[in-house]
Structure 1
Amino acid sequence: MQKISLNLVAIAIFLGTMSILLGPFLHISHTIPAVVTFLGLGLATVDNLTWQGRGVTLLLDTIARVSPEYRQRILHHEAGHFLVAHLLGIPITGYSLSAWEALRQGNPGQGGVSFAPPDITSSISANLLQQYCHVWMAGIAAESIVYGTTEGGREDREQLQTAFRLIKRPVSQAQTQERHSILQAKTLIKDNKAAYDSLVQAMAENTPITDCFQIIEQHREPAAS
């Protein structure tokens, strides 16, 4: 998010400069672009230093949510995280589908599924780490299944890569795990498609997480004996 804030600062400077240069031709007073640029830079700086970029996040998310496709992508992406986490027994504590909802819940970022974070140390079991990797990659997997392409997932990939750095594993292993986890998450979602579709509808209606759990259990495929 800091990168986004810095990009916005650069854009503000560029637009301010262009406004000053083109002002005489467009009959715009030099004062107007200067004031707008100053305010923009000031707000971006305060947001970055005081609110850790949350203001920028809220603004960009609010603008993006005008698009129905964006809202649906977020919904399907987060439902993928939710379903796979529940199927793998990762405790889920809540979810939000917008930056505003996340802020109200006291969470940073654009929203998402909240679950118990793993204790990433060298002693973490390979099985538990792999389960979390599957959950992190489940949003990407869900988008790929529903839309054939993925647009989200940058922060999810960063979580996986950070985990591997903390346990001092090479980047190549993280990349291999990422591909493997996407495939495993896809399999879980496809094998429980009825549960996934019902969960998407439930999350779209802001259904409480306990009810979401029941909906998944009602529609999930029984475990193979």
Structure 2
Amino acid sequence: MNLSVGVTIAREISLDLRRGTDGAVVVATKRVKEDGDGCGVRRRRAALRMVDRQLAKGNSKLALSLVKQLQRQPPPAGLRGFAAARQVPRRFSSVEELDLNVTEKSDLQSLHGSILDLIKSSLQSSPLDESSVTGEDDDLYSEYDIVEHKQVVQHEAGHFLVGYVLGVLPKKYRFSSMEDVKQDQVIDASVKFIGFEFLTELEDELSSKKNMCDVKPGHRAIKRKLSSTVLSKFLCVIVGGLVAEYLVYGYSKGHHGDMDKLGRVLKWLQITEDEADGVLRWAVLNTLLILRRHGEARLALVDSMTRGRSIGNCIDVIETTLNYHDI
């Protein structure tokens, strides 16, 4: 634990961190139990306001460090949901392999198949030239799409929630205002995360080339930074938006930017079509189950994001409504 950061947290939220053989965490646990859940929640919210301040200053690493320290604190002062998602084993890639009843399997199979078909068709038709390079995490809606504002927020909440429970901290989000939607303007939206900086490096590399043929896929200096764990998280987060739309509406209109970005990453890493099919089957299945289990938290997050609440406030909403019995 970073001592200077730990002292700051203690001062802000009045934790009793005495020096002793048991360490600070044990003392904090005793204090939380004495004060009750209400006081613990207030401490959590005070600490999350600190996270917001660091994010506003652009101190992403410090903000993430604060969140990880809160993750180690006991509930309710601590964060129980960050990086805590129960995931589908990597060896599973189909609904049939899951221990579910017939009805659940039937519902999931239909969704799983429809989402995979959309991803496959989008990847096949996605342009890969320089002119279509987009920002790090932008979700673009075609000007021909009639999209309600609430559908855009559902999409972004899907990205946000999946990233959070997988341990990828959102650092900012935005989406077009309702006025933009009413004026039939092209809608753009995004959630940016700490830990996906490789996307910026990739886009910088692409934008400096005339076309994809000039890019050296899998450039070793960058590829080494993209571990299998990071790739798995990225795949789940990138499909989180369209999966959330499917769960609510049965279709997605906000997948254009996501699929363009996904195609670029897969090509950059020199992942073959067969390899991509396998990892995407798992990622969609994993994401689908995560968002289904935490429907209440997703809806509460949608409301918070609609109101333009801070990242810390959104995290607090997730922690308050997350299904901890089946995380």
8 Å CA contact retained: 1:160, 1:178: no
SS at match of 1:206: coil
Mapped partners of 2:301, 2:134: distance in 1: 31
Cα distance, 1:190 vs. partner? Answer: 0.9
Alignment match, 1:70 = 148
Cα distance, 1:144 vs. partner? Answer: 0.6
Q: Mark the CA change 1:171 to 1:207 in structure 2 (over 3 Å): closer, same or farther.
A: same
Identity of aligned residues (%): 24
- Pair 1:208-2:310 in alignment: yes
The range that moved more, 125-134 or 155-164, is 155-164
Aligned counterpart for 1:143 among listed residues 221, 228, 245 = 245
Aligned counterpart for 1:91 among listed residues 156, 169, 173 = 169
Aligned counterpart for 1:112 among listed residues 176, 182, 190 = 190
Q: Mark the CA change 1:137 to 1:53 in structure 2 (over 3 Å): closer, same or farther.
A: closer
Q: Mark the CA change 1:169 to 1:161 in structure 2 (over 3 Å): closer, same or farther.
A: same
Question: Letter of the aligned partner of 2:238 in structure 1?
Answer: W
Deviations 1:110-149 (A, max 9, x none): 1211112243614522122101110000001001100011
Question: Letter of the aligned partner of 1:204 in structure 2?
Answer: T
CA RMSD of aligned residues (A): 3.4
Q: Mark the CA change 1:199 to 1:84 in structure 2 (over 3 Å): closer, same or farther.
A: same
SS at match of 2:171: strand
Aligned positions, number: 162
Aligned counterpart for 2:259 among listed residues 137, 141, 157 = 157
Q: Mark the CA change 1:210 to 1:64 in structure 2 (over 3 Å): closer, same or farther.
A: farther
The normalised TM-score by structure 1 is 0.62
Cα distance, 1:221 vs. partner? Answer: 1.9
8 Å CA contact retained: 1:161, 1:171: no
Alignment match, 1:30 = none
Alignment match, 2:319 = 217
SS at match of 2:223: coil
Cα distance, 1:223 vs. partner? Answer: 6.4
8 Å CA contact retained: 1:140, 1:153: yes
8 Å CA contact retained: 2:169, 2:193: yes
Aligned counterpart for 1:196 among listed residues 272, 289, 298 = 298
Mapped partners of 1:149, 1:76: distance in 2: 12
- 1 or 2, which has the higher helix percentage? 1
The normalised TM-score by structure 2 is 0.44
Q: Mark the CA change 1:126 to 1:223 in structure 2 (over 3 Å): closer, same or farther.
A: farther
Deviations 1:165-184 (A, max 9, x none): 22221133223333332221
- 1:46-85 residue pairs with structure 2 within 5 A? 69-85=147-163
Alignment match, 1:183 = 285
The range that moved more, 111-120 or 161-170, is 111-120
Mapped partners of 1:157, 1:172: distance in 2: 17
8 Å CA contact retained: 2:163, 2:170: yes
Structure 2: tracts of 5 or more residues without a match:
1-130, 179-186, 199-221
8 Å CA contact retained: 1:160, 1:174: no
Alignment match, 2:18 = none
Higher relative contact order (CA 8 A, sep 6+): 2
